[in-house]
Structure 1
């Protein structure tokens, strides 16, 4: 990492020194007041899943109560010797209890329970579940101590159960339907998610780290995903720098300590075949060494002729419990794919979604060699419980990505459909390193509670790309003209260029605009103050970031030192209702160069937001509504396509205002619901230096003014239909913009999906039909170029497949 300036280094060192001193003082306190005795354990459900949010109470010489974590664990420390009763109570289950005697030697006692169904209605400590879709607490990777209900931020969580019901195979596969205002761009959708929200493309996080790089990262396979968290607004203070519109955080599966295996086999339209396995358990008799292994293999064709994407995923995780306070976790993920084209693009001179272009139109050729992608990622986590009130966390990660392919793109298109295509090499490589540490704890000054969060975030991102142009002759040597209305395929082998890859891609990219280096280091701290019995919560935070984009000359070097403040307030009207207000700033360094070979400026944003959250019917389902205003400088948007390469450009300034409503949970027993709506008004308010035409007042590209999604799932629990389920949903998009214009320039989108399922004991089967009405839907489009050559100006767009189905069989042990 390039060295910091003397001033920035002094500032960052001072902040980190304060954190270190506080960390050591807390640790010393923990050593002096060591625990006398420990009672811990795990609560699991009847189907061997971790039971999160379950109330556990110990009573004896002292009384304490706690809620289980997301992996079902509870922990009581500093207990004096004596006899204790451990009680577990959950509405709808039989009460569980046991008695244990703690000795003077401070030995840890592990007491675990398995919930047993009951019709009894408990009147003691009651914690209810929101069914399959409602998640009460964010993952530990967001570093938040408060529940989602009490956090002054709009956070929506998509559970693995939701993804299973919707037959989601990877993060590209329709997850945005579960979050208000989220949508996909579709560009390079064989590999990358490209999700947009609140007027801009949002970065991808994994386990709390911003892993956004180039077009990537590689879209995560569903087999490795536990939950996906959509965090609205900047919120960069929590873990890593985030874009003004927010980010999504993929939480990968970790060991739970429960012996559990699951297998699934899927088949569907377009020659889709898939198998996955999930192994979870203990590798040592003492239960200290845990493991989780997820495997997946998939062959998937597309609705466009000849196109395919075959994928293999291997994701082992090992966790070692050093003692009752400390654990270390090692996680490795390997994703490999083989594919023919970089997307399902279509083209026309007439209009978007040209009806004369067949829905299975393929713009390249089956004779071309397939592309190959390899993605390796490694995480190491260290967690330490300092005392009852404080804990520390550290993690490092290494990503290594390589893609070797060729890509064909149209260069000219005539009115009669005759197309001239060019063939480029399309090699990429990336190498990213990250490190984070954080500490969090709770203290009191009088009656004021302090939930303190602080830490550091460091990153180094490198990318290399080789997109040299090959043969651009019309349809290659010896072939008749290719026509989009009457395509004929089968290029002779000797007409296809063979690219020289004898030199490493780092050297090939060195002299081009596709060799980028970005470094950053930051420190942050936040205090959530609780007043009035913690019903009123005030969050104050600040983040310092030093970032640099390393250029090849002093004109392309960018160095920034930025302070980003944050202030939020949340008030609990009652136990199930809270209102909040938030002011947040963000700063994100941007790697890469534009078509003019100049580096991108950092993205800066301000967010003001107000919202209300409410749980209904004892917490079975929850609703959240928010209004916001975001000003964003230097936002990236899709720019011109030159020789098959699509560049990004930066807008001067945009303003996005909107309203969002999300509802999810179990409405009545067995009926789970997801329903959301978003109104998004995102406009250009200041011209960019790179824009030659007037854009002020125009809508931001790739946005939808109205987005509505709904999903229902119902399973019978009694009678002859016991175990049968039905599910279905819809997606509606209106006021759609693919370029900066004043009026919508894409047709409305209304799609219906539906299916049936059956669950009996360890066995389950789920069938889903997408696009029930068999309509042709336009997913995304690109702006027309401004070339002086009229044959170089044409529409570029992607349509979704017509009616198609998937079926999955699962078996759990």
Structure 2
């Protein structure tokens, strides 16, 4: 073919393309919230061409290559009225169709990325805490949030490090299979909620896919149920990262002390051309050794998520967590507590850097959590939300503890075998925002089904006693010793299955008397069916050990819990006063000496305080006082030690303060103080009138200060410094024996250089190598150095 003819075809093609481009136009726009911040993931439809897309993280959207005509843009946002905008497209031009939502709180029903926030550590708005489109200042309940910005700056690579920023959390308690537990208002609280529903994990949880952590304070059974609100101190809710409307991500590497190596990846991409189907993958793997003489953990986490805007009214979210870990148990020391004594863990002289284990006593865990949610916009006032959650954890191998036999001797207790935990939660919520006359109502009506099933096939053995103050060579436990004892049948066998079902219905309404005065009223009815314990060895189904030490059999219980609150905004959107009365419960099995069946245990909280958001969001905080009364607690029957009676009580009172501040550009502070006074008020004589042993320190302080250059050649260079303080606490606290944990002050520092394409970070934890222990007397690591490097795309 002649070269001249090829040139002619090329020129013709270019001209045709140019003419076609000039004969079409485009529509673009930006969607903003009522406060001017960009609104991400809003559904935008081009009615005439039946095309749809989602806004990106900056609230932008576009439709290209449109023939000249008049079009209608339809904007659909959950919780807000539909908006239609007429747009005329002209050849070769881009028509603009911007929109700012006139109503508040719509973002509470879907994920929104807020950018350009001067106070970067204050991300208070949540769609999970009240299950309603409710701002923090309108919510009568206290909650703390730890956003991803703070997690990233602190190089917080585990949930324990993240919880340092929650007032009152204290030093995290690590269980033998990597599970973490915190303190909240004097009670143990686990991170068993995920995106607002049950997501329990009896294993370590990698934070690679966390958008933020929400610490919801006080009994919360009314909206969350006893299945995940197992603590009267509150609920820890893990909010996961969601897909967004763009391609991007990063890969990072962290290395540090004791052969610490961590690799992470975060990749996000649209799946289809309209960008209504989105996919995101977060993954991490971590290998580390213990600072002690023996011990290690190796794990991997994979967390994909997928969202699909099926129509302008219907959306789907699927979120999965998979984790696998192999490691050795942390030290859990239970000192000898017989006799009359008052001493500190420091006085006991248990070696700080010894485990008395071996690296062949390995546990292996596997976790799989599946979360699915379907949102359907029924009308401008009502939204349907259907949720499915399934959590499965498996533990194989060896779980250990060290039990004191005398003041100077101990022996290792080892549990070996298999354990499985499976939890299924199905919810149907109808969420409304409507008016009755001139009065605004925000309401959620929900149904909840929860099933829990566990099975155990394991044996517990106790190894030989050794002197831990002057230990002989090879003292402690090894795999060979444990296996030999288990095969000889010298241990205690647990071979059983158990399960329970919970059926619940709840309703919660926020009624606005005026623009500034609102009241919340919530009620939950909970039907609990305990199916009993099936003993595989005997083939008998019973209730396991009841409170009186005998088989209690399967049982059913019905519970009511309520939540009431009132809020008055002294200054609209800036300062509010609030009060709440919240109830929580736990089901109890067994019966008293006279045959009376036990009732569910109940806790009632009365709280009041002040919330503020002032100086153009530069100072955000909460100050509150609470009083929690736990009733119907079981205690030993004074007339018969083999039985229990149900009239025990416990009180927990305290003050909590949380502040996040941005005094001047580039400088951010987050600080908290928690005072907790817990006491058994009617209990066994050995503990009556005393502080519960595992309630943690009475006083805790957390603070983090950071400064980042916002301009100049070194823009993105920043540094942070802070720490945590906890007063003396108890591992054992009875009238005769008190084993105390000394106060601690642990300081951390960070240095980083954050650029659009990369990030370099350096962190030192526990700079002064302060010796500290959790409530399980697990020694905390001395100074740890972690360096990181991330590439962004």
Q: 1:655 to 1:450 in 2, by over 3 A?
A: same
Match of 1:313 among 288, 295, 301: 301
Q: 1:517–1:591: 8 Å Cα contact kept in structure 2?
A: no
Distance 1:306 1:209 in 2: 37
Alignment correspondent of 1:121: none
Distance 2:97 2:634 in 1: 53
Q: 2:132–2:443: 8 Å Cα contact kept in structure 1?
A: no
Distance 1:292 1:127 in 2: 20
Alignment correspondent of 1:273: 261
Which ranges in structure 2 are unaligned for 5 or more consecutive residues? 1-26, 45-53, 62-69, 76-83, 90-94, 100-113, 338-342, 488-492, 533-540, 544-551, 636-643
Distance 1:754 1:599 in 2: 54
Alignment correspondent of 1:443: 434
Alignment correspondent of 1:801: 781
- State yes or no: 1:474 paired with 2:443: no
Distance 2:98 2:623 in 1: 38
Shift, 1:624, TM fit: 0.6
Distance 1:270 1:590 in 2: 44
Shift, 1:218, TM fit: 2.9
Helix, strand or coil: the match of 2:774? strand
- State yes or no: 1:550 paired with 2:531: yes
Shift, 1:517, TM fit: 1.9
- State yes or no: 1:428 paired with 2:413: no
Q: 2:391–2:422: 8 Å Cα contact kept in structure 1?
A: yes
Alignment correspondent of 2:717: 724
Q: 1:143–1:239: 8 Å Cα contact kept in structure 2?
A: no
Distance 2:299 2:609 in 1: 41
Q: Aligned runs of 1:253-652 on 2, under 5 Å?
A: 253-343=241-331, 345=333, 351-354=344-347, 356-366=349-359, 368-410=360-402, 413=405, 417=408, 419-470=410-461, 472=462, 474=464, 483-486=468-471, 488-489=473-474, 495-497=481-483, 509-511=494-496, 515-532=497-514, 534-551=515-532, 552-553=541-542, 555-575=552-572, 576-589=574-587, 602-633=600-631, 652=648
Q: 1:177–1:731: 8 Å Cα contact kept in structure 2?
A: yes
Alignment correspondent of 2:538: none
Distance 1:252 1:591 in 2: 35
Cα RMSD of the aligned pairs, angstroms, is 3.8
- State yes or no: 1:226 paired with 2:215: no
Pairs aligned (count)? 674
Shift, 1:279, TM fit: 0.9
Match of 1:178 among 165, 168, 190: 165
Q: 2:333–2:402: 8 Å Cα contact kept in structure 1?
A: no
Helix, strand or coil: the match of 1:183? coil
Distance 1:354 1:40 in 2: 68
Shift, 1:698, TM fit: 4.0
Q: 2:129–2:216: 8 Å Cα contact kept in structure 1?
A: no
For residues 739-760 of structure 1, the C-alpha deviation after alignment (integer angstroms, 9 at most, x for no partner) is: 3458893211111111211112
Alignment correspondent of 1:654: 650
Shift, 1:202, TM fit: 2.3
Alignment correspondent of 2:6: none
Q: 1:218–1:375: 8 Å Cα contact kept in structure 2?
A: yes
Q: 1:209–1:239: 8 Å Cα contact kept in structure 2?
A: yes
Q: 2:633–2:648: 8 Å Cα contact kept in structure 1?
A: yes
For residues 257-283 of structure 1, the C-alpha deviation after alignment (integer angstroms, 9 at most, x for no partner) is: 222211110011111100000111211
Q: 1:128–1:619: 8 Å Cα contact kept in structure 2?
A: no
Helix, strand or coil: the match of 2:239? strand
Shift, 1:315, TM fit: 0.8
Q: Aligned runs of 1:745-764 on 2, under 5 Å?
A: 745-764=740-759
Distance 1:635 1:307 in 2: 39
* TM-score scaled by length of structure 1: 0.75
Q: 1:649 to 1:355 in 2, by over 3 A?
A: farther
Shift, 1:132, TM fit: 2.2
Alignment correspondent of 1:10: none
Shift, 1:553, TM fit: 3.5
Shift, 1:177, TM fit: 2.0
Structure with greater Cα Rg:
2
Alignment correspondent of 2:65: none
Distance 1:493 1:222 in 2: 31
Q: 1:707 to 1:53 in 2, by over 3 A?
A: farther
Shift, 1:188, TM fit: 1.2
- State yes or no: 1:776 paired with 2:774: no
Distance 2:486 2:693 in 1: 40
Distance 1:240 1:133 in 2: 29
Shift, 1:128, TM fit: 7.1
Shift, 1:539, TM fit: 1.1
Distance 1:85 1:496 in 2: 68
Q: 1:357–1:485: 8 Å Cα contact kept in structure 2?
A: no
Q: 1:282 to 1:141 in 2, by over 3 A?
A: farther
Q: 1:51–1:70: 8 Å Cα contact kept in structure 2?
A: no
- State yes or no: 1:681 paired with 2:669: no
Distance 2:460 2:119 in 1: 54
Alignment correspondent of 2:660: 664
Shift, 1:655, TM fit: 0.7
Q: 2:219–2:582: 8 Å Cα contact kept in structure 1?
A: yes
Shift, 1:620, TM fit: 2.3
Q: 1:283 to 1:614 in 2, by over 3 A?
A: same
Q: 1:282–1:288: 8 Å Cα contact kept in structure 2?
A: yes
Q: 1:277–1:295: 8 Å Cα contact kept in structure 2?
A: yes
Q: 1:714 to 1:684 in 2, by over 3 A?
A: same
Shift, 1:483, TM fit: 4.5
Q: 1:199–1:700: 8 Å Cα contact kept in structure 2?
A: no
Q: 1:460–1:517: 8 Å Cα contact kept in structure 2?
A: yes
Alignment correspondent of 2:180: 193
- State yes or no: 1:249 paired with 2:237: yes
Shift, 1:200, TM fit: 1.0
Q: 2:344–2:741: 8 Å Cα contact kept in structure 1?
A: no
Q: 1:537 to 1:494 in 2, by over 3 A?
A: closer
Shift, 1:451, TM fit: 0.9
Alignment correspondent of 2:700: 707
For residues 20-57 of structure 1, the C-alpha deviation after alignment (integer angstroms, 9 at most, x for no partner) is: xxxxxxxxxxxxxxxxxx9986679xxxxx9666999x
Helix, strand or coil: the match of 2:211? strand
For residues 654-676 of structure 1, the C-alpha deviation after alignment (integer angstroms, 9 at most, x for no partner) is: 11111110001423211111101
Distance 1:188 1:69 in 2: 43
Alignment correspondent of 1:123: none
Q: 1:325 to 1:778 in 2, by over 3 A?
A: same
Q: 1:188–1:343: 8 Å Cα contact kept in structure 2?
A: no
Alignment correspondent of 2:87: 101
* TM-score scaled by length of structure 2: 0.77
Q: 1:147 to 1:409 in 2, by over 3 A?
A: closer
Q: 1:418 to 1:312 in 2, by over 3 A?
A: same
Distance 2:590 2:163 in 1: 27
Helix, strand or coil: the match of 2:208? helix
Match of 1:238 among 208, 213, 223: 223
Match of 2:152 among 164, 187, 190: 164
Alignment correspondent of 2:731: 738
Distance 2:589 2:39 in 1: 41
Distance 2:771 2:213 in 1: 29
